[in-house]
Homo-oligomer: A and B are copies of this chain.
Amino acid sequence: MASDTAQRLKPTGMLGHLSDAQWQTLAPLFDRLVDYKPGDTISERGEALHYSLLTVEGIVARHVAPPGTSRGSFVALQVPGDFVDLHAFPLKRLDHSVVALTHARVAVIQHDSLQKVMDKDIELARVLWFLTLVDASIHRHWAMRNSMLRAMARVANFFSEFDTRMSFALGQEQELYRLEVTQTDLSDACGMTPIHVNRVLRDLREDGCCTFRNGDLIIHDRSRLRRIGQFDTAYLYLPGDETTF
């Protein structure tokens, strides 16, 4: 099964930070693929994990809840080519839960496989470390976004990030993305109420820059969307984008 899995994996998106040789080293170590349905919990806050996951298809989210409350806040999205839970390799226990937002397929790699390959290939270890720190950079951006931007800019910025990361993962910009989440999910990501998200979506639609409906995100005017969201890609550390700072 391992070789079969390896053959089906493509080094898309952020995996572009690995050299071909590094990918050839890493890919065979994934020992299976697992599918999840929208809403499935992939790993629960506090669980001890002995494996990490690579997003192959679909969208996976990290979710943090304050102690008492039932509802929490999405703090990151992972698109195809992103590791999720690679944090779990050094941390062992995660402070957040991981859920599938859409139908999602992930590849599983055991921590002892990772351990072995990283002992031998220090450069690969460093790239993996790098990838977890890009996540940290994105977290910083989310903190900034939800602190500094008003509702409309917030949602526009969120959509711009999604557009940029997904188009990169898919190899080209799309006019339409499947983003099978509810408006309530969006509200948990952007730190606002579902009702207000609904109104902001209407405003964005009437502004003619994008439409979100039935889990479809349609980009009508990308540059306008980015301008409204004050969006800049530098913090994403996209492969081949070394000049952005």
Contact = CB atoms under 8 A, between A and B. Distances in A.
B245 A66 contact: no
Contacts of A199: none
A45 B235 CA distance: 10
B132 A68 contact: no
Interface stretch (A25-33, A52-60, A85-93, A207-215): A85-93
Given A72-B148, A95-B235, A133-B136, 19 more contacts: A46-B234, A67-B230, A73-B144, A73-B148, A75-B143, A90-B127, A90-B133, A91-B130, A91-B137, A118-B122, A125-B125, A129-B132, A135-B136, A136-B139, A139-B140, A143-B143, A146-B147, A146-B191, A147-B191
Given A91-B130, A118-B122, A132-B129, A76 B140 contact: yes
A187 to B, nearest CB: 10
A83 B119 CA distance: 24
Contacts of A148: 66, 69, 72-73, 191
A126 interface: yes
Given A122-B118, A191-B147, A232-B66, A91 B133 contact: yes
Given A87-B133, A119-B122, A62 B191 contact: no
A64 interface: yes
A126 B95 contact: no
A73 B147 contact: yes
A159 interface: no
Nearest to A129: B90
Contacts of A129: 90, 129, 132
Given A87-B133, A90-B129, A130-B90, A67 B232 contact: yes
A168 interface: no
Contacts of A132: 129, 132-133, 136
15 contacts: A64-B141, A66-B149, A66-B230, A68-B230, A72-B144, A72-B148, A73-B147, A75-B144, A87-B136, A90-B126, A91-B130, A91-B133, A93-B242, A143-B146, A147-B191
Contacts of A143: 64, 73, 75, 139, 142-143, 146
A122 B45 CA distance: 27
B234 A95 contact: yes
